[in-house]
Amino acid sequence: MTTPSCSPDIRRRQWLAATAALALSPALRAQATYPQKPVRMIVPMPPGGATDGMARLIAMKLGERWGQSVVVENRAGAGAIIGTQAIARAAPDGYTFGLVISSHTINPALRSTLPYDTLKDFTPLTQLGSAVIALVAHPSLPASDVPGLIKLVRAEPGRLEYASLGIGTATHVAGELLKVKAGLDMPHVPYNGSAPAYNDLLPGRVKLGFVILESALPHIQSGRLKLLAIANGQRSSAHPDFPTIGESVPGYAYESIFGFVAPAGLSADVAQKLSADLIATIKRPDVVQQMNAWGTDVVASTPAQFDAFIRQEIDSTRSVAKSAGIKLTD
């Protein structure tokens, strides 16, 4: 039995299809094949905390999307510099990327030297989201909102202290920004994290503090602390009834960010694929719900938007640091 011969039109269409397949750009071919092996996600924080939880959630969902493992590697220490440096020094092949936090924009603004260049040594992928920073007070403080706080501080400059979660943290910058924008004299009392800060905030030894909303919510709900406002530029999607400081102090906005970057030199096609898949993963309803439960508003920005945001935050933080005289030891 002989096989019928193809007509000239059929042969021509087959030839065109084969030619088109061979002519696919390297970008499309790379996107179709990436990733072909497990991918490493570097997290500059220790395991077990909220930041690590976010990273592991994204890693799991991204791994499901790819059919490849995304292995979380915790590289904590030195104000997130150790982990961030590990991202910068990794091979730019798409098989290592990492999470960055607010220190990514704070460190270059407050330190004279870093073992990497924040603007040159990374490929921005997307801003995961922003943690909500809360301005809270002890119930005994005779102010229940930002206008009342401003009036109180101006009446007795230098008397009311505010707590933060440490020198050079997002909560510290948020507090100094309020002082600069509202012209306030409030001494800063830094603590080494949330637990020691609450040890003094809850009994009222320090009556005012900038903290992460997620950790403050149980104390707010129990009445042991009261919320004056949040520092973020917009009201939280998870808590739309909470006012922002910017509603009372024009031009005020500060956010504790989370985002993903890869080493500089990553090919445009792999960067596009990695960014697009991260954004799609972050926007999943179950991921958004969990992120909101952790006190984080999802952003899922484009690489260009994230790059612009990083540059803007460095400039803004540098300006606040100059006005407030903040500097970190290198």
pLDDT of 321 over the 50 cut: yes
- The predicted-structure confidence for 173-194, as pLDDT tens digits, reads as follows 999 999 999 999 999 999 998 9
pLDDT band at 32; cut points 50, 70, 90: low
Q: Which two tokens stand for residue 126?
A: 């997307």
The whole-model pTM stands at 0.83
Q: Average pLDDT for residues 320-327, to the nearest whole number?
A: 82
Element (H, E) at 209: strand 208-212
Own/partner pairs, 113-118, CB within 8 angstroms, 24+ separation: 113/330, 114/81, 115/81, 115/85, 115/88, 116/84, 116/85, 116/88, 116/89, 118/310, 118/314
Asked if residue 322 has pLDDT above 70, the reply is: yes
Structure confidence by residue, pLDDT tens digits, 227-250: 999 999 999 888 899 999 999 999
- Percent of the chain at pLDDT > 70 equals 90
Is residue 185 a contact partner of residue 157, using CB atoms and an 8 Å limit? yes
pLDDT digits (tens, 9 = 90+) for 123-136: 999 999 988 999 99
Decide if pLDDT at 210 tops 70. Answer: yes
